[in-house]
Amino acid sequence: MSNHHLMGAFVRRFLIEELVTDRNLSPNTQKSYRDTIRLLFNFVAERYSTDPTRVTVEQVDALVIRSFLAHLENDRGNSTATRNQRLAALRSLFRFIGRLVPDLIEHAAQIQAIPLRRTIVPTMTYLEKHEINALLDVPDRRRAQGHRDYTLILFLYNTGARATEVAQLTIADLNLGSSPSVRFYGKGRKIRMCPLWKHTTKILRSLLGPRIEGPGESPVFLNVRGRSITRYGIHALVARTAVKAAMSVSSLQDKPVSPHTIRHTTAVHLLRAGVDINTIRAWLGHVSLETTNRYAEVDLDMKAKALETCAVTSQSSTIKYVPKWHVDSDLMSFLGSL
């Protein structure tokens, strides 16, 4: 086994030069790549009794990568989508290594040839209007935490924002003037503007109070300790609110409710209101219009209305029933002779 190509040196260059300097990927993407490599090193160290600092590129071949992917699914219980995400990160790492060392191009190509598995696209869950109203009715707005919970859920519904985007939101990102709006830094470092309802603006002003005149870098939504709320905190807030709302609205008991569910809800309700699909794409910050088109496919009400427009009316008096098909014997003989 060659000791000339230790993985450690390539990993450092990959994480710093490739991901940060050259590609300028988002911090979340950088962490995802880092975690994938960390899991791989732990797997190799445990399975092959190898010190992670001595792992070589040659040792981590396609067979090892396939074993690692099986470990993710069978031992760690990861989904196929997570497995594919980890594989994509490792493909990128070995593509980088192949560019640096031509002698390792063939080795890297074998790993890049490992295919992604096809996944089943899950049904998109969204809430009806009375269900989102039930969520908004849960927080006790007379208490500080309840007021914050109500404002955050209302803000999620108004903007269709991702949990990470809300967690990173600062006061400087808000424009609560005559044309209220909010600025988001979304996936891929893309900036988008989203309008705010008058009610949302009023509630945000009430939540922020004197903080609205404070430092612009201050977070909008705080946790109980007065620090910036995390995306995990937002998920927990929505989950516990949904559990309480399900006590009064039974249909919520069968729906997994998360911040992303509210994001889907915003899109479907905008579509029902007649907002064009391209505007919704910009509203949600989708890169591809194909992603936004999924919302038109899941709304049963819109499908039913579309079906009504092309329904066939009964014209039995003008239709003559033909009891049997006329068979062209010459044609059938020709087909049988082929």
What's the pLDDT at 308?
54
Cα separation, 71 vs 48, whole angstroms: 13
pLDDT at 316 over 60: no
DSSP state for residue 211 in the 8-state scheme: G
Q: What is the average pLDDT score of the chain? A: 87
> What digits encode the pLDDT tens for the residues 166-179?
999 999 999 999 89
Whether 137 contacts 151, CB under 8 Å: no
Give all domains of the chain, ordered by start, each with its CATH number. Answer: 7-112 (1.10.150), 129-307 (1.10.443.10)
Which are the catalytic amino acids? 162, 187, 260, 263, 286, 295
What's the pLDDT at 272?
86
What's the pLDDT at 252?
95
Whether 69 contacts 19, CB under 8 Å: no
What's the pLDDT at 139?
97
> What digits encode the pLDDT tens for the residues 120-130?
766 778 999 99
Sheet holding 181-185, edge to edge: 174-175, 181-185, 191-195
DSSP state for residue 228 in the 8-state scheme: B
> What digits encode the pLDDT tens for the residues 93-107?
999 999 999 999 999
3-state secondary structure (DSSP) of residue 255: coil
pLDDT at 17 over 50: yes
CA distance to 15, 16, 102, 168, 282, per residue, from 25 (Å): 10, 11, 25, 17, 21
pTM for the structure as a whole: 0.70
Average pLDDT over residues 213-238: 94
Burial 264-302 (b: 16+ CB within 10 A, else e): bbbbbbbbeeeeeeeebbebbbbeeeeebeebeebbeee
> What digits encode the pLDDT tens for the residues 265-296?
998 898 888 888 778 888 888 766 666 666 66
283: closest CA among 196, 200, 202?
A: 196
Average pLDDT over residues 185-205: 89
